[in-house]
Chains A and B, each alone.
Chain A
């Protein structure tokens, strides 16, 4: 374990976001989410006052150079959390019920709450200090402009440079992501590139302004496995090179095992477990995490039927005393369980946070939910 910086660059505290429950189409329902018609996923947080809680009580912190993986199934609130960080969730219909997103400015070393900034201030942060890459490389680039025009526009927006200098920056950004003959490539249109190449271009575009934090929203989901490995490898190398933090959103535990320093598991819009990657795979504590890990088919083992998440969702026998963790139940009752206000994220073991409830007669009675904060960074990654 190495301590990187003494303070996190991004700190999300008790974030809750809700959307009005609208059944009809028409742009109003869940604008910020890409996977729209997922009734089960969207309802997860339970409905309160006609509004659906997309996420609630989300707290996490990211240190420089750290990779924080946010893991969860479709519609659990992963993407919304990342989108909130850039304030890309349209409000209305979305509404921040509570919470704050503290961003530490590099130069001034001051923390600002991104949720209180004006749209104009927010724009100067987007792309410049926090950048984002998306799941679908096929659609994330504008088809009517050359990739050069797109990268240069982003660069000139945030950097006071001439066109010629911007071209240089764009070309070196393409070089960085392993695209050869960058000057020529700048003149090509997205449809001339393969999926893997497009994702590289997206990364180049995101990193052209040297952001401090990169939000990677399932960056490899749409790519085939060999390209996935390349892209993740590339991200890791660039992270090292630029001292950048990465918020990696994924549902792929293989990706987590290979890339993450710290893992946040989200289910039904709530953070259920938060710890470093080794501990998570070694000693998962929350039933949902256990079920999730248990459902991974093992190589070299014969099984008549694959294990589901529910099969493995057991409560560990040696769960620390004084904490009550609810069993993982699928379906509406399960969602109600997760919507329970008594539940909170508690540090049940050192540097290991789990969604549970302090027992009324136990040693932790009346404990307040904690904001997890873990500066863990594993060694030897990407070197």
Chain B
């Protein structure tokens, strides 16, 4: 207490009442002078830096810092590649010619083969690209408006595609080869890889890589490379959707637990512990037994069981943040709970969760691969794990090409997510320490 009050400028305590008026005038005068000095000094330092205008936001700083690391760039590059494969897989690997000229005229069998999902992905990729260029040229600059336009186009395209596009159920992939062999086709443009993933070549099963089949063929005679490319979509989708479900649940629950603490926290933590005790893989096995092999059920299960980790992270962050002055200030401003939790607290506490989410995506991919490897994954659609499973033939021989390439794809993708996650963590750390 003695130390705290030693800043008093007025002299004798007993005649402070008289003194304080005079002291006050002095202080206010010197205060004004000091205020001008301060303003000038700040102006100078400002011009010295030579920078004005919008500063670097925290989020932007973290993104730039992450991308400055080479490992993150490598990881991102691989993921972009996988993403492009996922979007363009039907155009990259297809038995149907892109364009062909027959007696009936020029036609495009490949376009007729496209499914609604293929069309949606291709159109949205195009729209996103156009928007990016538009932003560069100064069209549709506002982020909010862009999102609205993007979502509008998405809904429109989805509606139209699902209503109108109906690809043939059963396709005879050999048709075009036969036509080609018979000389019915005058000229044709083929996809880079001339085999669809489900194009089972008779008598070609388990053939080692050749010039025709770069990565060899698998148990049913399908081209391994084609299957790997088509499986990119599943790998991307399962990672993002499963982790997205986990993130939403984890962030909302964790946020409420951390903010309210007390009883809410107590009940929430028990829930977290219950869900942590569920072994994901065995639950997946059981669900496959009950609901059959369904990719969406798989995503939902992985998502619904994977949230406790994120929940813990967010809870811990919010417990720390709720005592911070800016949260008090936000409450003192009269902001509603929704805004305090998700606008003010979440951006400050989401960083560690994003790091862990990048690892989460990797583990979701692994979970699907594991399931497929065990033979409980998808049957018809290609997936990396399922291909691994086929590498060991029933005769007991091991076909290395069926194992190596899909295995490499899994490894590289998981590795890429981990690289990005680590870089993100490293980028966030100094920011946290900087206070």
Contact = CB atoms under 8 A, between A and B. Distances in A.
Contacts of B330: 142
Q: How large is the interface on A (under 10, 10 to 19, 20 to 34, 35 or more residues)?
A: 35 or more
Given A180-B39, A282-B15, A158 B334 contact: yes
Given A126-B331, A144-B57, A281-B14, A180 B52 contact: no
Interface string A278-297: 11111000000000111111
B178 interface: no
Contacts of B344: 142
Nearest to B260: A90
Interface string A118-140: 00001111111001111110111
- Chain B interface size, under 10 / 10 to 19 / 20 to 34 / 35 or more: 35 or more
B38 A227 contact: yes
A143 B39 CA distance: 22
A342 interface: no
B5 A258 contact: no
A240 to B, nearest CB: 12
Nearest to B330: A142
B55 A251 contact: no
Contact of A157 (B7, B20, B32, B333): B333
A68 B419 CA distance: 57
Given A144-B348, A277-B17, A281-B20, A154 B7 contact: no
A88 B15 contact: no
B55 A187 contact: yes
Interface stretch (A46-54, A105-113, A188-196, A360-368): A188-196
Interface stretch (B86-94, B240-248, B318-326): B318-326
B55 A189 contact: yes
B177 to A, nearest CB: 58
Name the prevailing secondary structure of the B interface residues.
helix
Contacts of B12: 298
A3 to B, nearest CB: 20
Contact of B329 (A36, A134, A281, A296): A134
B97 to A, nearest CB: 52
A111 B313 CA distance: 44
Contact of A233 (B5, B10, B31): B31
Interface string B24-55: 10011011101100110011000000001111
A144 B324 CA distance: 14
A141 B327 CA distance: 9
B160 interface: no
A93 B323 CA distance: 14
B27 A258 contact: yes
B325 A300 contact: no
B326 A180 contact: no
A205 B9 CA distance: 30
Interface of B: 1-2, 4-17, 19-21, 23-24, 27-28, 30-32, 34-35, 38-39, 42-43, 52-59, 261-262, 265, 319, 322-326, 328-336, 339, 343-344, 347-348, 435
By Cβ-Cβ distance, the 9 closest A-B pairs, closest first, are: A126-B334, A27-B261, A281-B16, A278-B17, A127-B333, A127-B334, A257-B20, A132-B332, A229-B31
15 contacts: A27-B265, A126-B331, A131-B333, A132-B332, A141-B329, A143-B58, A257-B9, A258-B24, A277-B17, A281-B14, A281-B16, A292-B1, A296-B6, A296-B13, A298-B11
